[in-house]
Amino acid sequence: MKLFSYLKVSGNPEVAVLEAAGKNGAHYIAGGTNLIDLMKDDVMSPAHLIDVNDISCGDIEKLPGGGVKIGALVRNSDLANDPYIRQNYPVLSRALLSAASAQLRNMATVGGNLMQRTRCSYFYDVAGACNKRQPGSGCPAIEGYNRMHSILGASNKCIAAHPSDMCVALAALDAVIHTKGPSGERKIKMADFHKLPGSTPEIETMLAPAELITAVELPAVGFNKNWCYLKVRDRASYAFALVSAATCLEISGGKIKSARIALGGIAPKPWRSVEAEKLLIGKTPDEATFRAAAEAALKSAKGYEHNKFKIEMSKRTIVRALKVAAGGVA
Ligand SMILES: Cc1cc2nc3c(=O)[nH]c(=O)nc-3n(C[C@H](O)[C@H](O)[C@H](O)COP(=O)(O)OP(=O)(O)OC[C@H]3O[C@@H](n4cnc5c(N)ncnc54)[C@H](O)[C@@H]3O)c2cc1C
């Protein structure tokens, strides 16, 4: 049995608590739907846990100039079903509802979802090597069974994929993450929040030790007319994405004025494809244009033995998600 200390904090956590957490390497726990599994499987063994379920980060607050601030402790179900979010940021609501199961979504929080770890089976297999779990030990997935792994943004140290659906929508919506740590508060753009593995796959985000996510801010533009979240997976529910796409369009006078394309299940972080978006601007929303954008999005893709199929699957997912978004029927 592995012993760990447990502390529950409430209200607005004081800097002293965060400082102590930084010094003793404590981990925060929210819904526990990921961390507890990882502890049970010995993948993570934090010596200190700080329960943040009672901190005052549980609200969804409309911002005066437009936009919304979502507390880090808002449950995935509450966020997906919030009338304001459904009306103004439907792509986020749909992405959340495509994830996990109703019971899990009732527990899972915004902060925990942002920080959830990969589902790479080698990461979970503590009897074997994994550079993410044990730096320098190797990446058996590269030559192993890599069907669920990355085709974009991977490195020769790690090809694990990021599993979140919510984060794909947040990437498309240009979310900003609010944090509080021992050295103060800061805001981190979603595009910068998760890191590519490079030579340090164990470092997954920009967060410093003991830095706490307090909220996620969404800008006023929510693309509530022309949007789609399409998740391709092995089962119709309760399965992680093989490929997912969040697409958002602004169409005026028969031409695309602005576009967002973010992908999930195919990269170590939620993957925004700015090159593909640029190709769409000023064009007529038709199949040829969408296919050109999909080709651009996957231009640097690299498949491994068991996941090469994801390259064409990703392109088709993008084309279909753009068609649905353009039709305004999602
Ligand atoms: C069977 C199963 C199926 C699933 N299917 C899907 C799916 O299809 N799509 C999908 O997107 N997800 C899926 N999930 C993952 C699920 O969405 C995550 O487990 C959940 O979002 C994590 O949130 P949590 O609050 O429970 O996090 P916890 O387990 O409490 O914490 C996870 C991590 O986040 C850190 N953390 C938590 N809150 C904060 C904070 N405020 N600041 C800083 N760090 C913090 C913790 O320290 C920990 O490292 C599935 C999970 C399971 C178990």
- The pLDDT > 90 percentage for the chain reads 92
Closest Cα partner for 177 from 137, 205, 143? Answer: 205
Q: Which residue puts its alpha carbon closest to atom 50 of ligand 1? A: 100
Give CA–CA dist 119/126, Å, rounded.
Answer: 13
pLDDT at residue 18, as a whole number: 85
Angle in degrees, 0-180, between the axes of helices 309-327 and 287-297, rounded to the nearest 10: 140
Q: Does residue 310 have a pLDDT over 60?
A: yes
The range of the structural domain enclosing residue 297 comes to: 226-327
Q: Give the mean pLDDT of 235-257.
A: 96
Average pLDDT, the chain: 96
Asked, for residue 193, whether it belongs to a domain, the answer is no
Compute, in angstroms, the gap from residue 157 CA to the centroid of ligand 1. 24
pLDDT at residue 16, rounded to an integer:
81
Q: How far apart are CA 200 and CA 135, in angstroms?
A: 8
Residue 143 has pLDDT above 70, yes or no: yes
8-state DSSP, 129: -
38 Cα nearest atom in ligand 1: 29
Mutate to test the pocket of ligand 1, among 78, 97, 109 (most ligand atoms within 8 A of CB): 109
Of ligand 1's listed atoms, the one at least distance from the Cα of 165 is 11
- DSSP secondary-structure letter at 109? B
Distance, CA 286 to ligand 1 centroid (Å)?
37
DSSP per residue, 206-229: SPPTT-EEEEEEE-S----SEEEE
Q: Nearest C-alpha to atom 2 of ligand 1 is from which residue?
A: 100
Is pLDDT above 80 for 99? yes
- Comparing 142-146, 291-295, 325-329, the range with the smallest average pLDDT is 325-329
Distance CA 314, CA 320 (A): 10
Judge whether 140 lies within some domain.
Answer: no
Confidence of residue 237 (pLDDT cuts 50, 70, 90): confident
Confidence of residue 82 (pLDDT cuts 50, 70, 90): very high
Q: Is 219 left (phi over 0), alpha (psi -120 to 50) or beta?
A: beta
Query: For the chain, how many structural domains are there in total?
Result: 2
Question: Sign (positive/negative) of CA torsion 109, 110, 111, 117?
Answer: positive
Rounded average pLDDT over 244-255: 98
Q: Is 207 a domain residue? A: no
The CATH number of whichever domain residue 262 belongs to comes to 3.30.390.50
34 ligand 1 Cβ < 6 A: yes
115-134 burial, b at 16+ Cβ within 10 Å, e below that, comes to bbbbbbbbbbeeeeebbbbe
Domain contains 107: no
- Collapsed DSSP state (helix, strand, coil) of residue 242: coil
Ligand 1 and 240: CB distance under 6 A: yes
User: Looking at 39, 54, 69, which one is the last position of a domain?
Assistant: 54
Q: Which residue among 7, 18, 33 has the greatest number of ligand 1 atoms within 8 angstroms of its CB, and so is best to mutate?
A: 33
Q: What phi and psi, each to the nearest 5 degrees, are found at residue 187?
A: -120, 135
The response to whether residue 314 sits with its C-beta less than 6 Å from ligand 1 reads: no
Ligand 1 atom showing the smallest separation from residue 115 Cα: 34
Q: Ligand 1: which atom is nearest the Cα of residue 44?
A: 49
pLDDT surpasses 70 at 326:
yes
Tell me what pLDDT residue 172 has. 98
123 closest CA partner among 21, 268, 301, 309? 268
What is the rounded distance in angstroms from the CA atom of residue 22 to the CA atom of residue 225?
Answer: 44
**Is pLDDT above 90 for 135?**
yes
**100-107 mean pLDDT:** 97
277-307 pLDDT, tens digit each = 999 999 999 999 999 999 999 999 999 999 9
CA-based radius of gyration for the chain: 20
pTM over 0.75, yes/no: yes
- CATH number of domain containing 45: 3.30.43
Residue where a domain stops, chosen among 16, 32, 54: 54
pLDDT at residue 329, as a whole number: 57
Residue 85 lies in a domain: no
Q: Which of 113, 229, 237, 238 to mutate to test the pocket of ligand 1 (most atoms within 8 A of CB)?
A: 113
pLDDT-derived band at 250 (thresholds 50, 70, 90) equals very high
Q: Does the C-beta of 116 come closer than 6 Å to ligand 1?
A: yes
Q: pLDDT tens digits for 15-27?
A: 888 888 888 889 9
Cα 40 to ligand 1 centre (Å): 15
Question: What's the whole-number mean pLDDT along residues 154-160?
Answer: 98
Q: Answer whether residue 266 is part of any domain.
A: yes
Q: Is the CB of 112 under 6 A from ligand 1?
A: yes
**pLDDT tens per residue, range 170-211:** 999 999 999 999 889 999 999 999 999 999 999 999 999 999
Last residue of a domain, one of 54, 76, 92: 54
CA–CA distance, 189 with 176 (Å, rounded to integer): 5
218 near 175, Cβ under 8 Å? yes
Any ligand 1 atom below 6 A from CB of 264: no
CA angle 84, 90, 94 (to 5 degrees): 120
CA of 316 to the centre of ligand 1 (A): 29
- 140 vs 328 pLDDT, higher one: 140
Ligand 1 centre and the CA of 273: distance in Å? 25
8 Å CB contact between 80 and 58: no
Nearest to residue 192, comparing CAs of 216, 176, 209?
A: 176
pLDDT at 330 over 60: no
Residue with tokens 């369009």: 249
